[in-house]
């Protein structure tokens, strides 16, 4: 996931970010909805985020809206830009040694955690140690830290056990190590390193604090009065969980919520594109729609069969029917805006006949497969239905099934028998380094390796690229991953958002590395 950038010159923003009016089918035209006067921002989640807003546990998608507004790291990616660019956050200056092992940071002064305690260099080691102790998906980012030494309250040096060309990307990543109050962690440690406490509280330094976390119902934030930076315009943020996309659109069209930030179905996208009552935005991301094949079930245990299934899928048709105007067919294995176009090229020739020949010789039970998708993503539901039809034409009997986010993450590290044969998912890297996508997707212990596929040549190439930062090893890793038949990058996808016309600052609040989310303190009403 990650799964970053901020400022554009005015001319660049106009070219890279699409802003125009639109509306829903039942809006009926008329006057735009009025801006709120109470400084309360109402937005929504389509389905619950699926994980608590704990920065060392959270590893899903839409809940970045919580974690990135509650917590801050030493660095971050700029908002409002098309390409990733690191900028200061809790660190004001930094250096990196030529061998990618030693990193120094000069820290921002005058910052307090939400429990009122001061942010100092002591928080770095405490936050790293806590992430290691919790040992969830994002823990890999600090596992190679050899030492954290401090030079007073506002200078620190981090030394790694081995060269890591992606370390600054980790630090700036929306999933990277956030600074958490050492005193708060100690006070609320309990028996689980404060994990229980952080399900409905926060210990960050961000512009907002967590005031409600009612799983499956609502989340709420309030502006932190002692925030070190510019004070947010919106003093409170209400985020109901709306489990039906039509109900979400109705609330938006009626002015009850200010924006829909993610997972609008293609039919709704078309409606909003053609109605001038609302603003719509197509924003650059590092997001792709991937297909995962399960190497542990049925006919797909054979790599040749997996590759035949991949060849049988007409990706051009899928993309045209699903992402018209907000996405394109992927040409690289990695997500967009990550590698130069000459690397990691993906070329799969559409040919249904190979799978047809294989399917003709299979027993009936081997022809039956399940295609799964995340229940919060209407695009993947459509894609799964289209793939079902395409594979049926090649001789397979496929059923389509939805899965909640929490269950999807439960497949990781298992024998794959509870997972579907094929899984369609929109995903993004933890950070812009190719390693952060290759590792979480292709390595055996990757946090997004949902169906447990791996290959030694992939892991070896990724390790080489991590040490040097050179692009060729990452390109080799991608080529080896494609050979397994376990993965296919189908589409590079923009962030399509709709907003009430009075909501200002959307482009500046959007970060190319943080899809489905906005930096809420950048927003205002006008």
Write down the residue that tokens 């909501």 correspond to: 503
In DSSP notation, 230-266 reads PPPS-SEEEEEEE--HHHHHHHHHTTSSSEE-S---H
Query: Tokens standing for 198?
Result: 């952080």
pLDDT one-digit tens code per residue, 286-334: 999 999 999 999 999 999 999 999 999 999 999 999 998 789 999 999 9
Please, what is the angle between helix 266-273 and helix 378-393, to 10°?
A: 120
pLDDT band at 25 (very low <50, low <70, confident <90, very high): very low
Note the pLDDT of residue 352. 96
pLDDT one-digit tens code per residue, 145-167: 999 999 999 999 999 999 999 99
Whether residue 62 has pLDDT greater than 90: no
pLDDT band at 3 (very low <50, low <70, confident <90, very high): very low
Query: Tokens standing for 454?
Result: 């791996």
Name the nearest CA neighbour of 476 among 490, 463, 493, 492. Answer: 463
Note the pLDDT of residue 1. 34
Identify the residue with better confidence: 325 or 229.
229
Neighbour tally for 104: CB within 10 Å? 17
40-238+499-525 and 288-493 agree in CATH topology: no
Pick the CATH number of 288-493 from 3.40.630.10, 3.40.50.300, 3.10.105.10, 3.30.390.50: 3.10.105.10
In the chain, where the domains are located: 40-238+499-525, 288-493
Whether residue 73 has pLDDT greater than 60: yes
Rounded Cα distance between 199 and 54, Å, is 6
Q: Residues 219-229: what's their mean pLDDT?
A: 98
Which residues, 6 or more positions from 515, have their beta carbon under 8 angstroms from its beta carbon?
Answer: 3, 61, 64, 262, 285, 286, 287, 428, 495
Do β-strands 236-242 and 45-46 pair in parallel, antiparallel, or remain unpaired?
parallel
Residue pair 420/309 in contact (Cβ under 8 Å)? The answer is no
pTM over 0.75: yes
pLDDT one-digit tens code per residue, 241-250: 998 889 999 9
The CATH code belonging to domain 40-238+499-525 is: 3.40.190.10
Rounded Cα distance between 446 and 132, Å, is 16
Note the pLDDT of residue 20. 36
């Amino acid at each position: 996931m990650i799964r970053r950038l901020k400022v554009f010159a005015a001319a660049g923003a106009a070219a890279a970010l699409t802003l125009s009016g639109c509306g829903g089918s039942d809006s009926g035209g008329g006057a735009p909805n009025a801006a709120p006067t109470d400084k309360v921002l109402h937005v929504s989640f389509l389905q619950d985020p699926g994980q608590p807003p704990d920065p060392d546990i959270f590893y899903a998608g839409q809940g970045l809206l919580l974690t990135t507004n509650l917590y801050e790291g030493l660095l971050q990616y700029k908002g409002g830009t098309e390409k990733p660019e690191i900028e200061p956050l809790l660190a004001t200056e930094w250096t990196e040694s030529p061998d990618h092992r030693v990193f120094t940071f000069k820290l921002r002064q005058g910052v307090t955690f939400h429990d009122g305690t001061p942010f100092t260099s002591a928080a770095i080691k405490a936050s790293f140690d806590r992430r290691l102790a919790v040992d969830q998906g994002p823990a890999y980012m600090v596992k190679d830290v050899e030492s954290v030494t401090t030079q007073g309250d506002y200078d620190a040096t981090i030394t790694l056990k081995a060269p890591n060309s992606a370390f600054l990307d980790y630090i700036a990543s929306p999933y990277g190590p956030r600074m958490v109050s050492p005193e708060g962690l100690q006070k609320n440690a309990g028996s689980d390193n404060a994990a229980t406490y952080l399900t409905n509280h926060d210990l960050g330094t961000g512009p907002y604090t967590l005031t409600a976390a009612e799983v499956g119902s609502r989340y709420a934030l309030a502006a932190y009065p002692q925030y070190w930076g510019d004070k947010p315009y919106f003093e409170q943020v209400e985020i109901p969980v709306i489990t039906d996309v039509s109900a979400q659109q109705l609330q938006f069209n009626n002015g009850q919520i200010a924006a829909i930030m993610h997972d609008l179905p293609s039919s709704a996208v078309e409606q909003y594109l053609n109605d001038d009552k609302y603003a719509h935005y197509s924003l650059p991301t590092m997001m792709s729609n991937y297909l995962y094949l399960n190497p542990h079930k049925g006919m797909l245990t054979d790599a040749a069969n997996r590759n035949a299934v991949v060849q049988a899928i007409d990706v051009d048709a899928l993309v045209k029917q699903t992402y018209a105007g907000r996405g394109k067919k992927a040409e690289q294995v990695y997500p967009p805006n990550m590698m130069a176009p000459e690397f990691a090229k993906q070329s799969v020739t559409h040919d249904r006949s190979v799978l047809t020949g294989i399917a003709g010789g299979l027993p009936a039970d081997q022809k039956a497969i399940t295609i799964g998708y995340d229940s919060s993503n209407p695009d993947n539901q459509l894609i799964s239905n289209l793939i079902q039809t395409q594979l049926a034409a090649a001789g397979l009997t496929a059923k389509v099934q939805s899965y909640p986010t929490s269950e999807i993450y439960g497949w990781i590290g298992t024998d794959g028998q509870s997972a579907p044969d094929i899984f369609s998912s929109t995903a993004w890297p933890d950070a812009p380094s190719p390693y952060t996508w290759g590792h979480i997707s292709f390595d055996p212990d990757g946090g997004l390796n949902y169906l447990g596929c791996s290959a030694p040549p992939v892991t070896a190439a990724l390790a080489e690229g991590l040490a040097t930062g050179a692009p060729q090893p990452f390109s080799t890793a991608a080529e080896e991953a494609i050979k397994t038949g376990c993965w296919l990058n189908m589409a590079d996808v923009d962030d399509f958002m709709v907003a009430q016309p009075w909501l200002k600052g959307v482009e500046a609040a959007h970060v190319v590395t943080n899809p489905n989310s906005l930096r809420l303190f950048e927003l205002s009403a006008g």
